[in-house]
Amino acid sequence: MRSLPSAAAALLCLAAGAATSWAQQNTVIRTETRVVLVDMVVTAKNGTYIRDLTAKDFRVWEDNKEQPIGSVVLESAATASTGFEPRGRLDNNLVLFFDETGMEAREQIAARQAASGFIDAETGPNRRLSVLIYNGTLRIGQNFTGNAGRLKDALPKPAASPGERPDYLPVGVRQGVSDDSAGRNLMASLRNLGASLGVLPGRKIVVLFTGQLSSSATQRSDMREAIEACNKSGVAVYPVDVRNVFAQTDLSRTDRGNIDYVNRGLNDEAQGDRDRTVPGQDSGGAGQQILFGLASGTGGFVIRNSNDMLGELQKVAAEQNEYYVLSYTPPESKEGSCHTLRVKVDRSGTTVRARTSYCTLKPQDLLAGTIAGQDLEKRAASAQPGNMAASIALPYFYLSPNLARVHVAMEITPGALKFENQKGKLHAEINLLGIASTPDAGVRARFSDTLKFDLENKTRPLHYEKEFRIAPGQYSFTIAFGQPGQNDASFGKVEMPLAVDPWSGGELALSGLVLSREIHPAADLGLDPAMGLRTPLIADGTQVVPSGSSQFTKSEQGYFYFEVYAPDPPSVSVRVRVLDSKSGESKWDSGLTKLPLPANGGKPSVPASSRLPFDSLAVGAYQLEITASDSAGKQVTRTAGFEVK
């Protein structure tokens, strides 16, 4: 992240890459609005991508019941800059996942060569790749980057000479004997990977290089869990069978059965059918059934029987920029439940690939019905402020027309907390309850959570983040928090207004403003399950961590972040000013700045971030003012107060 120049003509560090406002697109939105978004790839018989379909050409079934379609959008590199669409972005994140337990040394060499050529051909400013290696445990060879040299250096090197069996392979894998733990650990690693990729926006791809897989009666449930995790995060799996063509099993007669097998999985468990084995005549066939199940369940395809692995991999990369997004409103269902999906195109000679299931969001009210939850509800309704101090910020970002994501950032002063000494560190837990209510006391959003943490000293504030979704409106937000078992000894409450402006999707808009004192390289994201369902704020390759406090010292760095939404991003200009809070006098002015756009065209939302110009400011109270304007004369302004000490 570059420093802001002090001159009025300073150029903001604005970025259009890796934006996050449409992240988590493959979950069910459950606030005032519910919608399921399904990624689909449609090809003709000759394999070419079909780009002229509209909503009337598609049909979708949930749990075998046809649903009315809301919209269908083509996410194509050829159409990326043609105007506003409900998501309208091409975020390219691809994982090269090497299962060394399923490959002989000669097969590892072939996979490495194909992957190296693929990296040379596909890395660039708008496509980030990562390398993961599984050899009984999963390790990150290289996190997401566009640097081809780093990626190729991270590719696994054969552990034995061609034809030999690596020592780390589980006994029996190459002898045709089932090894239950090897297959289950691989599926668990894939499941965890799918969950961790949920923080990244757009459609994600995992290319799984493997060979002969172990198989067992329990493999079906493990595969289903991996598919569910990938579908929740918008991850499509493309398995690559790296074995010699003559070693692979001919499954041409059972390919359709693979898809049916995956679609039946959720219903089978509900009926108690847990012990049915994976279809297949031998270990090789059953292993390939797993590959087909992963692919068909998530919307990918299997690469097999190929003497041109690199060419097939490039077909996978092409699909990252050639897919449709279908939306529909699902029937009411239990939170956390999973449902089968089936998509059809009413045009002869076409093939459609889409994920076969989705799961609704699990409740965020983790303490509901518990004694701790009831205690927090009483404290939230009382007039007592408690003895724990905290500050919060509530910036919001649009997910779709008239639906926003509120990103709660909170700093808690730990002085009143009671700590336990665990392995030389100070350990404590805090329960939290957040409620957004209307003036008539109607609850429109709520969450409860438990924060567990270790401290090395008690002087630094505790940082907490959470997000929730809400429709535009005027709200009062209350967050109550306390330490379990401490009654009134460790309790606090913060209240502040929350105003979310309406947005139809077709006009200029600004998000809320984020103040920050901490940034990280965005490449550190994407493979960390600790992010959970929290959406990272990314601009210009940098993650901005929102702060719950608006007070800064002259000696530290401060940053700001916001997002611009526009049907025609190239026409938008932005001006940033810092005003004296008392006099309104301008203390810093960036001047009018055009939004720079990515190489593949404009996007309907553009993230922006830069440093707060502390060098130009004296100690005092200020207002950060950001104004966006377009060629139609529309102008939107947002402000956020901060203090320099």
pLDDT digits (tens, 9 = 90+) for 219-239: 677 888 899 888 888 899 999
139 and 108, same domain (yes or no): yes
536 and 615, same domain (yes or no): yes
CATH classification of the domain holding 580: 2.60.40.1930
What pLDDT, on a 0 to 100 scale, did the predictor assign at position 397?
94
236-267: burial string, b at 16+ Cβ within 10 Å, e else: bbbbbbbbeeeebbebeebeeebbebbbbbbe
pLDDT digits (tens, 9 = 90+) for 467-510: 888 999 999 999 999 888 766 667 889 999 999 999 988 899 99
> To the nearest whole percent, how much of the chain has pLDDT over 70?
74
575 and 493, same domain (yes or no): no
Question: How many Å from the N-terminal Cα to the C-terminal Cα in the chain?
Answer: 23
User: Could you write out the three-class secondary structure of 58-120?
Assistant: EEEEECCEEECEEEEEEEECCCCCCCCCCCCCCCEEEEEEEEHHHCCHHHHHHHHHHHHHHHH
Q: How confident is the model at residue 597 (pLDDT cuts 50, 70, 90)?
A: low
d(CA 133, CA 327): 35
**Cβ neighbours for 70, distance < 8 A, ≥ 6 positions apart:** 35, 55, 327, 328, 329
Contact assessment for residue 186 and residue 101, using Cβ atoms and an 8 Å cutoff: yes
Higher pLDDT, 459 or 493: 493
Residue 250 has pLDDT above 60, yes or no: no
Please identify, among 510, 540, 559, the residue that sits at the C-terminal boundary of a domain: 510
What pLDDT, on a 0 to 100 scale, did the predictor assign at position 436?
94
Question: Among positive and negative, which fits the CA dihedral 615, 620, 626, 627?
Answer: negative
269-279: burial string, b at 16+ Cβ within 10 Å, e else: eeeeeeeeebb
Residue 165 has pLDDT above 50, yes or no: no
Rounded mean pLDDT of 268-277?
Answer: 36
What pLDDT, on a 0 to 100 scale, did the predictor assign at position 318?
84
Please identify, among 491, 510, 529, the residue that sits at the C-terminal boundary of a domain: 510
What pLDDT, on a 0 to 100 scale, did the predictor assign at position 163?
43
Neighbouring-strand partners of residue 509: 565
Residue 602 has pLDDT above 60, yes or no: no
pLDDT digits (tens, 9 = 90+) for 308-363: 899 899 889 888 778 888 888 888 887 778 899 999 999 999 999 998 888 776 65
> To the nearest whole percent, how much of the chain has pLDDT over 90?
34
227 and 308, same domain (yes or no): yes
pLDDT digits (tens, 9 = 90+) for 542-551: 889 999 999 9
Q: How confident is the model at residue 113 (pLDDT cuts 50, 70, 90)?
A: very high
What pLDDT, on a 0 to 100 scale, did the predictor assign at position 217?
54
CATH classification of the domain holding 212: 3.40.50.410
Rounded mean pLDDT of 263-287?
Answer: 40
Q: How confident is the model at residue 215 (pLDDT cuts 50, 70, 90)?
A: low
136 and 215, same domain (yes or no): yes
Judged by average pLDDT, the poorest of 131-135, 150-154, 398-402, 444-448 is 398-402
d(CA 160, CA 138): 20
**DSSP, residue by residue, 465-477:** EEEEEE-SEEEEE
What pLDDT, on a 0 to 100 scale, did the predictor assign at position 352?
93
**Phi and psi dihedrals of 573, rounded to 5?**
-120, 150
d(CA 250, CA 453): 53
Spacing of C-alpha 275 from chain mean position: 33
Residue 552 has pLDDT above 70, yes or no: yes
299 and 206, same domain (yes or no): yes
Which residue in the block uniquely carries the two structure tokens 């780093």? 150
Q: How confident is the model at residue 69 (pLDDT cuts 50, 70, 90)?
A: very high
Q: How many domains does the chain have?
A: 4
Judged by average pLDDT, the poorest of 161-165, 449-453, 502-506, 558-562 is 161-165
DSSP 497: E
314 and 174, same domain (yes or no): yes
53 and 174, same domain (yes or no): no
Q: How confident is the model at residue 635 (pLDDT cuts 50, 70, 90)?
A: very high
Residue 570 has pLDDT above 60, yes or no: yes
Nearest alpha carbon to residue 359 among 339, 343, 330, 334:
339
**Cβ neighbours for 238, distance < 8 A, ≥ 6 positions apart:** 205, 206, 207, 208, 295, 300, 301, 302, 303, 316
Contact assessment for residue 103 and residue 287, using Cβ atoms and an 8 Å cutoff: no
| Tokens at 349, concatenated | 């000679």
Contact assessment for residue 330 and residue 62, using Cβ atoms and an 8 Å cutoff: yes
Residue 283 has pLDDT above 60, yes or no: no
pLDDT digits (tens, 9 = 90+) for 419-437: 888 777 778 888 999 999 9
Judged by average pLDDT, the poorest of 3-12, 136-145, 342-351, 515-524 is 3-12
pLDDT digits (tens, 9 = 90+) for 411-421: 998 877 788 88
d(CA 508, CA 405): 18
* 144-152 contacts at long range (C-beta below 8 A, 24 or more positions apart): 144/93, 144/522, 144/523, 144/525, 144/526, 144/527, 145/523, 147/123, 148/119, 148/120, 148/123, 151/96, 151/119, 151/123, 152/116, 152/119, 152/120
d(CA 395, CA 547): 10
Q: How confident is the model at residue 84 (pLDDT cuts 50, 70, 90)?
A: very low
406 and 343, same domain (yes or no): no
Rg (CA), the chain: 26
d(CA 526, CA 528): 6
137 and 253, same domain (yes or no): yes
628 and 527, same domain (yes or no): yes
Residue 594 has pLDDT above 90, yes or no: no
Please identify, among 494, 510, 526, the residue that sits at the C-terminal boundary of a domain: 510
d(CA 460, CA 597): 39
374 and 316, same domain (yes or no): no
What pLDDT, on a 0 to 100 scale, did the predictor assign at position 417?
79
Residue 56 has pLDDT above 80, yes or no: yes
What pLDDT, on a 0 to 100 scale, did the predictor assign at position 403?
86
Q: How confident is the model at residue 370 (pLDDT cuts 50, 70, 90)?
A: confident
What pLDDT, on a 0 to 100 scale, did the predictor assign at position 186?
87
Q: How confident is the model at residue 180 (pLDDT cuts 50, 70, 90)?
A: low
Contact assessment for residue 412 and residue 390, using Cβ atoms and an 8 Å cutoff: yes
What pLDDT, on a 0 to 100 scale, did the predictor assign at position 366?
64
Print the domain residue range for 51: 28-89+321-360
